[in-house]
């Protein structure tokens, strides 16, 4: 019997170039007891090559969710893991496969989880990693670290199953007031609102907006606010907008009166 928590973990493939890799990834998922596959703008799907390499996992392919953007694929995810190589220019919570499996299963007890894989040639972009809370790196041979997409899916899926089996013999701890992080779509709405308010108050000035927003993303992603906390934060932003716009109206009225 498969662990029901594994069914709450979605594997997301971004702009996969070769349909055979989609089929191989589907097979890797099914052999480890996972079933959720989401495809972001695949170059070719459905495809015979995908069906052939799925080899018994056609149900995973048939039930795959195909969406145009990564944000669409992550709309319900509370915690998102990005599988990629180490990025020195990004300050992210970087973890290995085993720590990933433990964190992912913990997160799955409270809400949907997503694991994101980039294209075969370039992996995940910095913007795509910006939608993830964690960066998962597989410790491959540094002299030849290029790992096939389906192989990466197999490695992390294996770690998930291994951790699930390890826990099967353990008594589940009582969960009191478990923290449920806000879904990715809610968090993205907050980030857009935050940037709008910071622009309104002139916070960015001549400083690089994108770089500052990337750091603010990391700050709030580490905190993993729940839905109610995101609502409170957005309420603060809304009141700030009202206050600043009201002030601007009053200043404009004074200026017009003085002329």
The pLDDT tens digits for 190-207 are 999 999 999 999 999 999
Q: Residue range 233-258: average pLDDT?
A: 78
The pLDDT tens digits for 157-171 are 999 999 999 999 875
Structural domains of the chain, ranges and CATH numbers in brackets? 4-168 (3.40.1280.10), 184-258 (1.10.8.590)
Grade residue 146 by pLDDT with cuts at 50, 70 and 90. Answer: confident
Pairwise pLDDT comparison (15 vs 88), residue with the higher score: 15
The pLDDT tens digits for 227-236 are 999 999 999 9
Predicted TM-score (pTM) of the model is 0.85
The pLDDT tens digits for 61-76 are 999 999 999 999 999 9
Q: Which of 84, 63, 76, 94 is CA-nearest to residue 14?
A: 84
What pLDDT is stored for residue 256 in this prediction? Answer: 59
Whether the bond into 23 is cis, omega within 30 of 0:
no
Q: Residue range 41-68: average pLDDT?
A: 96
Q: Residue range 99-119: average pLDDT?
A: 96
Could you tell me what percent of the chain has a pLDDT over 90? 78
Which ranges constitute the DSSP H helices of the chain?
Answer: 19-31, 48-54, 58-62, 70-73, 97-108, 126-129, 149-168, 184-200, 209-223, 227-258
What pLDDT is stored for residue 119 in this prediction? Answer: 94
């Amino acid at each position: 019997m498969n662990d029901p928590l594994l069914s709450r973990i979605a594997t997301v493939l971004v702009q996969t170039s070769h349909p055979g890799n989609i089929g191989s990834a589907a097979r890797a998922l099914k052999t480890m007891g996972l079933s959720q596959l989401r495809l972001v703008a695949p170059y070719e799907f459905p495809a015979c090559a995908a069906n052939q390499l799925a080899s018994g996992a056609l149900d995973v392919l048939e039930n795959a969710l195909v969406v145009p953007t990564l944000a669409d694929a992550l709309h319900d995810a509370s915690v998102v893991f990005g599988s990629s190589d180490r990025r020195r220019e990004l300050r992210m919570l970087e973890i290995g496969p085993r720590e990933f499996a433990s964190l992912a299963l913990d997160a799955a007890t409270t809400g949907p989880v997503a694991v994101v894989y980039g294209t075969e040639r370039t992996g995940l972009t910095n913007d795509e990693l910006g939608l993830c809370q964690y960066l998962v790196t597989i410790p491959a041979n540094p002299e030849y670290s290029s790992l096939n997409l389906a192989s990466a899916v197999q490695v992390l899926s294996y770690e998930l199953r291994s951790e699930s089996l390890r826990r099967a013999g353990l008594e589940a701890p009582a969960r009191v007031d478990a923290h449920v992080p806000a879904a990715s779509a809610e968090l993205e709405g907050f980030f857009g609102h935050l940037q709008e308010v910071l622009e309104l108050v002139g916070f960015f000035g001549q400083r690089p907006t994108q770089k500052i927003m990337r750091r603010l993303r990391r700050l709030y992603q580490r905190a993993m606010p729940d839905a109610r906390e995101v609502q409170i934060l957005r309420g603060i932003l809304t009141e700030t907008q009202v206050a600043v716009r009201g002030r601007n109206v009053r200043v404009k009225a004074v200026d017009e009166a003085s002329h």
